[in-house]
Structure 1
């Protein structure tokens, strides 16, 4: 079992269907006595992590349509307003727009997603203001410990709640996936000097070593580095047949181009934080085929959204029909945020009571397009782990798009279907 104490130093920082600028839509009936609930939504629609926000315009459109007639809650019909903000992939901007939602829009609830740079500042702003916040897609250790919680002590958070994968889910995914290709079990790692990289270095590395892997770590690099020659030379010299990294997307593009030029081709190239979305992978060109990655949602998931009623397949197909783009795994958690939010509002005697709403979330159990989310059952208070599943980018054999992501293992959720086995990259 990984010691969470090793993660205490994790810092707070770890084309869309709608407009990129923040927008709001006061949809729904007039309500009884003009009652209205305002939900804020914060995600990175522009900037270095904009791939995460790519499908959010579509998700917001679907949520607004589903809530267009308002919600009947505790004997009243409330109109629902959703106000969305772009964090621009910047922590300061995320804090600013969240405070704007709180102070100018008077939100009753904030939803936040995608990377510590967006989610942690939004969560901190909500905690300070006493506004409920539900968030996702940040390794939970970086969200919980990175914001000041300490192992073995009561949670300092009363208004902020989070569902996402963690180090243990990565560990299970990697060991399940990598066992499908014979290697010398030497892993060259490129883990950056940021919240994600530092948490992974302190926790995932020791877990992999216990599984018999040798970690070859040239040391933390600075985000934005443009010369990875020394790292590549080390990986080649030590014959690292497995490669793993958690970089910002532009950094991996630079590294992977240089690795190809300098002749480094591992048998397994496992990437996280980038390579999640087809737009990032296509930008790499032919060298992207065979990259191993992870997915926390795909259209093959056997779950449906509780708010809209759509299945995972219908969610992916609907996105493609509306935008002409290939499905994006962020469709799942962004949709699940609204599944959880509406379930929490329905379960609160007075949904305008912020403390009462936060208390409801603390023990909420509800179905989502990701599966069942059950707060109060996680490894620490305020957190529910979700699965992440290993797979590989391949040339598509059917359909309108050139690449496809195929799930190769399901150690974190046996209900998720496996399509194939991992093939060697080199």
Structure 2
């Protein structure tokens, strides 16, 4: 049989089309299946807006999954097609909540996937929780995801499941990187008024104090921010030599350009949501050299995809060949999202019972390309923590930048490649 045509194929997704994507390209021959309804999977992620870099790998990963699975899965003893219904959150929490509701009420999906920072995962998860819809999310640190939703660690949530690195561990990795560079210990904070920023503002100051470090904090701010000149001026006045930010690429570009103009170059510069993306840094040329970042996944990670059979390094190599673009860590998590999904679908006893679907997903304890995902271990109910290393961008060869692993406290399977160096002076 052939999968009926939905509004958009992966090919038109690559061309920028909006709306739905079929589980396989319409018109391609599919295996003959019993007359069972397909599994409908909703996907909410930021295809446009300041968080769009979190969605750039989806077409490539969808093609990988199609090649390996033909978008079929055995559910309760019957082979079924998998249909994907993709919605753009436009990098807006309000829009993310809206599209989640559309997937639940209008599209008749059986499970929802969401990825791309707490601005996406949290509102989507909240709608699923309110409507009894099984949900699987990733690409948001565990603490902003769970605590940002006012979750009770003793109770948890009934319908939502999440895997990614722990913000506490990521913060620890970044602090270890800070400690590799000789500084005066004065840290400038760029923490906005959002789930990530408010969480870091709550948990980071006492941690810095315990390490004998001093905090220079201009306070929470709403984005987009037209100018960061006031923050730069405060950092200069306070003698800041380390900057810790949690801001997306457009905001970081504004901040860093103004910092360069004001001759403010800290010895260590970190910007979560930006510094993990080489494409967001290339515009700065050599000014991007020695920026530091957490590394939740990369070709250095010694894990294999249960869907494609490829190592992390082989996934990266194929992505480079297919796209001509440089990898970033979200490539691994996009693939892992499908790995966890298919592992969960194969455990379902009754597709028409949402509780059976949720039970199947929450029972996952499987190896993935980003490491083991085990929802029974937490640290919060129905969450799984994945390894997190730290690294620094250096001058590249095949691409303008290359990422060297410099810290592995929370990812001991990942080998250290270099020691963190201070930023180049102005």
Same-fold call, TM cutoff 0.5: yes
Match of 1:95 in 2: 97
Match of 2:57 in 1: 55
Match of 1:10 in 2: none
Equivalent residues of 2:286, 2:395 under 8 A apart? no
Match of 2:9 in 1: none
Offset at 1:24?
1.6
Tell me the distance in 2 between the aligned counterparts of 1:38 and 1:281.
Answer: 37
Match of 1:8 in 2: none
Tell me the distance in 2 between the aligned counterparts of 1:168 and 1:301.
Answer: 20
Q: CA RMSD in A?
A: 1.9
Match of 2:155 in 1: 154
Aligned length: 408
Equivalent residues of 2:299, 2:312 under 8 A apart? yes
1:409 has 2:416 as partner = no
Equivalent residues of 1:167, 1:203 under 8 A apart? no
Deviations 1:256-291 (Å, cap 9, x if unpaired)? 111111111111111211122111111333321211
Offset at 1:377?
0.5
Offset at 1:98?
2.0
Tell me the distance in 2 between the aligned counterparts of 1:241 and 1:16.
Answer: 43
1:85 has 2:56 as partner = no
Match of 2:221 in 1: 221
Mean CA deviation greater in 263-272 or 57-66: 57-66
Deviations 1:287-321 (Å, cap 9, x if unpaired)? 21211112211122110111222211111111111
Tell me the distance in 1 between the aligned counterparts of 2:187 and 2:160.
Answer: 36
Corresponding residue SS for 1:92? helix
Mean CA deviation greater in 69-78 or 112-121: 69-78
Match of 1:131 in 2: 133
Tell me the distance in 1 between the aligned counterparts of 2:278 and 2:229.
Answer: 27
Gaps of 5+ in 2: 1-11, 25-29
Tell me the distance in 2 between the aligned counterparts of 1:17 and 1:41.
Answer: 16
Tell me the distance in 1 between the aligned counterparts of 2:67 and 2:130.
Answer: 32
Corresponding residue SS for 1:125? helix
Offset at 1:18?
5.9
Offset at 1:381?
0.7
1:72 has 2:71 as partner = no
Equivalent residues of 1:130, 1:354 under 8 A apart? yes
Corresponding residue SS for 2:408? coil
Match of 1:11 in 2: none
Match of 1:236 in 2: 236
Tell me the distance in 1 between the aligned counterparts of 2:69 and 2:94.
Answer: 31
- TM-score calculated relative to the size of structure 2: 0.91
Question: After TM superposition, where is structure 1 displaced by more than 6 Å over at least 4 residues in a row?
Answer: none
Equivalent residues of 1:20, 1:46 under 8 A apart? no
Match of 2:417 in 1: 419
Equivalent residues of 1:365, 1:374 under 8 A apart? yes
